[in-house]
A and B are shown apart, each in its own frame.
Chain A
Amino acid sequence: MLMPPALRVLEHELLLYRRVWRGSIVSSFLNPVLFLAAMGLGLGSYVSQNASTAGAATGGGAAALGGVSYLVFIAPGLLAATAMQAAAGESTFPIMGGIVWDRTFLGMLTTPIRVLDVLLGKVAYITIRLALVSGVFFVVMLIFGATHGLQAILAVPSAILTGLAFTTPIVAYSATQKDANGFSALFRFGVIPLFLFSGTFFPIGQLPTILQPLAVITPLWHGVDLCRTLALGTADAPGVLIHVGYLGAMAVFGLALANRTFRRRLEL
Chain B
Amino acid sequence: MLETSTAPLIRARALTKRFGAFTAVDAIDFDVAPGEAFGFLGPNGAGKTSAMRMIGCVSPVSGGELSVLGMDPRADGPRIRARLGVVPQQDTLDMELTVSENLSIYGRYFGLPRSLIRERVADLLDFVQLSERARDRVESLSGGMKRRLTIARSLINEPELLLLDEPTTGLDPQARHLLWDRLYRLKQKGVTLVLTTHYMDEAEQLCDRLVVMDKARIVAVGSPRQLIEQHSSREVLEMRFPVGVQETLDGALDGLGERVERLPDRVLVYADDGDAAAMAAHERGLRPEMSLVRRSSLEDVFLRLTGRSLVD
Contacts and interface: CB of A to CB of B under 8 A. Distances in A.
Interface of A: 1-3, 5, 8-9, 11-12, 15-16, 19, 102-104, 106-114, 267-268
Interface string B123-158: 000000000000000000000000000000000010
B95 A110 contact: no
A102 B95 contact: yes
A1 B58 contact: no
Contacts of B65: none
A117 to B, nearest CB: 9
Contact of A267 (B56, B58, B84, B95): B58
Contacts of A107: 88, 92-94, 106
B72 interface: no
A19 to B, nearest CB: 7
B222 interface: no
Interface in B67-111: 77-79, 81-82, 84, 86, 88, 90, 92-97, 101, 105-106, 108-111
Contacts of A110: 56, 58, 81, 84, 86, 88, 92
15 contacts: A8-B108, A8-B109, A8-B111, A15-B97, A16-B96, A102-B93, A106-B88, A107-B93, A110-B88, A111-B106, A112-B81, A112-B109, A267-B59, A267-B60, A268-B53
Interface residues of B, number: 30
Give 8 nearest A-B pairs by CB, closest first: A107-B92, A111-B109, A110-B86, A112-B78, A103-B92, A112-B82, A106-B92, A8-B108
Nearest to B59: A268
B17 to A, nearest CB: 9
A11 B111 contact: no
A153 B81 CA distance: 45
A234 B110 CA distance: 50
Given A8-B111, A110-B81, A112-B82, A19 B96 contact: yes
Contacts of A12: 94, 105, 108-109
B113 interface: yes
A111 B88 CA distance: 12
Given A15-B101, A16-B97, A19-B96, A113 B90 contact: no
Given A112-B82, A268-B19, 5 more contacts: A5-B78, A19-B96, A107-B94, A110-B86, A112-B111
A30 B92 CA distance: 35
Nearest to B138: A102
Chain B interface mostly helix, strand, loop or mixed?
loop
Name, among B93, B97, B111, the residue most crowded by chain A CB atoms within 10 Å (CB to CB): B111
Contacts of A111: 81-82, 106, 109-110, 157
Contacts of B105: 11-12, 15
A268 B88 CA distance: 14
B213 to A, nearest CB: 19
Contacts of B88: 106-107, 110
B78 A114 contact: yes
Contacts of B111: 1-3, 5, 8, 112
A5 B110 CA distance: 8
Given A109-B58, A110-B81, A112-B81, A104 B109 contact: no
A11 B56 contact: no
Nearest to B113: A1
Query: Which of A108, A110, A113 has its CB near the most chain B CB atoms (within 10 A)?
Result: A110
A15 B101 CA distance: 9
Nearest to A12: B105
Contacts of B84: 110
Nearest to B79: A112
Nearest to B107: A111
A188 to B, nearest CB: 28
A111 B106 CA distance: 8
Contacts of A267: 58-60
B92 A104 contact: yes
Contacts of B86: 110
A53 B53 CA distance: 72
A109 B81 CA distance: 9
Looking at B81, B97, B105, B113, which has the most chain A CB atoms within 10 Å of its CB?
B105
Contacts of B96: 16, 19, 102
B150 to A, nearest CB: 9
A8 B94 CA distance: 15
Nearest to A16: B96
Contacts of B108: 8, 11-12
Nearest to B56: A110
Given A267-B59, A267-B60, A268-B59, A108 B109 contact: yes
Contacts of B79: 112
Contacts of A19: 96
